[in-house]
Structure 1
């Protein structure tokens, strides 16, 4: 099978859509599919159409209903082949609730199949349009597992520091500024505490605000954009990985990656995080600043808790969220779409 993948973002490679599409494309070859990626941050819709005419794929797979999905729908209509849409987060939690709603729903209605990462996302879509239930499939995100086992206690940023690592692009939905006040209080209790953030600035206004606030806190560091191939070194050095998002599209790549590296996760109690962070088993969830402070304090003071959550999270993703399993699920979906 030949599949054309249309993604809204491919560069920088650390954006969620880019990480997801790069991983799926790489593993589809092993699953028996020929995949080509066309990105809207590199090509226009017209250029993608010409590329697809030359490729002659069997189906088109768009990511994000409003962004990649609209282009997939139009090109599929022109060339006369089916298309699939994978929901990635902001299409469900934002585009279906604002002035992009009707176009997004049209894309989903005309798609041969829809993919959600988690049942909670499917339920939200079906609430908007019940007829979409029958063609919506659940395919969880996969994760690239580390190539070797790294033992707890390896090198960290500086000897003796306790590092809370927040991997996220600087944009409002990631809520990167939220933990600063809590971490300041925790640092006041224990001077070893550090907050380290890494990710591209995706919203200039929000990014400027957050970075200005971080400058006021000497325990906080912003590492800028870190290439996806290099970020594993930071996971290995971190003691706790944070996710502070307002919403996620089913499950965050960063949370899966943290677990794959055996790092304990402290995450916002939202639908997308609840799909993989099981309270007290594969990580901890917080609902407000008070819970964030208390659970961060627990992780700071209890090395055994950090070890246990990290190990249980690692086993959880190894068993359920391999990139190979994800690609095989897409190959089976393509087969169903093509009859």
Structure 2
């Protein structure tokens, strides 16, 4: 089939990474899957013209609102993949809620990353429960063998109290105002470094050289960064929110904190207790291998897309 895959495709973001992985899964069995950036289109009529011009036979979209709204009224069958923003944020807005419900009604199927995400969606749109499938994100890490921290930290200021400890924040500047606020605070925080996005294999190599990975997000669907750290044998400290708690069992496969004070206390515990670190790393690796298989994700999407024929 000729498939259209709509997603927000800013480089080195979770959406783009997930979309690329799904594209690879589908093309592996002979489909032609074309990625298009949902942020480049204003309304369904533009996508209808695209479908007609490129003769797409079916479509997928990541995010009910950001991507799915563009497929409303489409003349081709489509499926939807929930994003964390759908359930955590967009659902609170009346118009977005209405649009997402309409998209779910039209979709042949929808994919939720967790049972919790499915239940929250089903509570809002009960008629859609039977078409929502659960498929966790599949993880495959590929650390670069040539990555070198020195090019990033050679001019770094040492942390005042713990000279050997650095906090590295890596990622694209998505929100200009928030980025400005972060930049301003980082300049006043010795030992904290803000880096732009880097290729995924370099990022994996950087993570592998770190003592721990921190996820302080206040809203998550399923964090691939957490899962990648687990796969790379690196402990995770994450804010205790539903999306993170769905994949981390506290003091077993990672550490969950609720405030800065608890983060500091848990960090010190991890630093001072090698047995806790070994336990978390071992159990997290086993968890990812069992529940976030890249091969299982591939098979699931290859089977789901058959519903679009």
TM-score range, shorter chain: 0.7 to 0.9
Q: 1:193 deviation in Å?
A: 2.0
Name the SS for the 1:127 alignment partner: helix
Match of 1:335 in 2: 306
Q: 1:55 deviation in Å?
A: 4.1
Q: 1:140 deviation in Å?
A: 0.7
Match of 1:4 in 2: 4
Cα 1:2–1:320 shift into 2, 3 Å: farther
Superposed, which structure 2 residues align to 1:314-333 within 5 Å?
314-333=285-304
Q: Deviations over 1:260-295 (max 9, x none)?
A: 211111111111112221222221111222321111
Name the SS for the 1:285 alignment partner: strand
Q: Does residue 1:261 correspond to 2:259, yes or no? A: no
Task: Indicate if the aligned counterparts of 2:105 and 2:128 stay in contact, CA closer than 8 A.
Answer: yes
Match of 2:104 in 1: 108
Q: Deviations over 1:52-73 (max 9, x none)?
A: 3244344211111111001122
Task: Indicate if the aligned counterparts of 1:267 and 1:286 stay in contact, CA closer than 8 A.
Answer: yes
Task: Return the TM-score normalized by structure 1.
Answer: 0.81
Match of 2:184 in 1: 212
Superposed, which structure 2 residues align to 1:174-323 within 5 Å?
190-249=162-221, 251-323=222-294
Task: Return the TM-score normalized by structure 2.
Answer: 0.88
Q: 1:211 deviation in Å?
A: 1.3
Q: 1:240 deviation in Å?
A: 0.2
Name the SS for the 1:22 alignment partner: helix
Match of 1:66 in 2: 65
Q: Deviations over 1:27-84 (max 9, x none)?
A: 222245332211124566555434432443442111111110011224x2xxx22111
RMSD of Structure 2 on Structure 1 (CA): 2.6
Superposed, which structure 2 residues align to 1:137-152 within 5 Å?
137-146=133-142
Superposed, which structure 2 residues align to 1:4-43 within 5 Å?
4-7=4-7, 9-11=8-10, 13-42=11-40
Task: Indicate if the aligned counterparts of 1:239 and 1:306 stay in contact, CA closer than 8 A.
Answer: no
- Looking at structure 2, the residues matched to 57 and 280 of structure 1 have their Cα atoms a distance apart, in angstroms, of 48
Match of 1:90 in 2: 85
- Looking at structure 1, the residues matched to 49 and 293 of structure 2 have their Cα atoms a distance apart, in angstroms, of 34
Task: Indicate if the aligned counterparts of 2:25 and 2:302 stay in contact, CA closer than 8 A.
Answer: no
- Looking at structure 2, the residues matched to 322 and 304 of structure 1 have their Cα atoms a distance apart, in angstroms, of 27
Name the SS for the 1:24 alignment partner: helix
Cα 1:318–1:34 shift into 2, 3 Å: farther
- Looking at structure 1, the residues matched to 111 and 293 of structure 2 have their Cα atoms a distance apart, in angstroms, of 17
- Looking at structure 1, the residues matched to 148 and 213 of structure 2 have their Cα atoms a distance apart, in angstroms, of 13
Cα 1:197–1:140 shift into 2, 3 Å: same
Higher mean displacement: 188-197 or 268-277:
188-197
- Looking at structure 1, the residues matched to 176 and 29 of structure 2 have their Cα atoms a distance apart, in angstroms, of 40
Unaligned runs of 5+ in 2: none
Name the SS for the 2:197 alignment partner: coil
Task: Indicate if the aligned counterparts of 1:27 and 1:324 stay in contact, CA closer than 8 A.
Answer: no
Cα 1:336–1:43 shift into 2, 3 Å: closer
- Looking at structure 2, the residues matched to 59 and 264 of structure 1 have their Cα atoms a distance apart, in angstroms, of 40
- Looking at structure 1, the residues matched to 189 and 100 of structure 2 have their Cα atoms a distance apart, in angstroms, of 41
Cα 1:147–1:196 shift into 2, 3 Å: closer
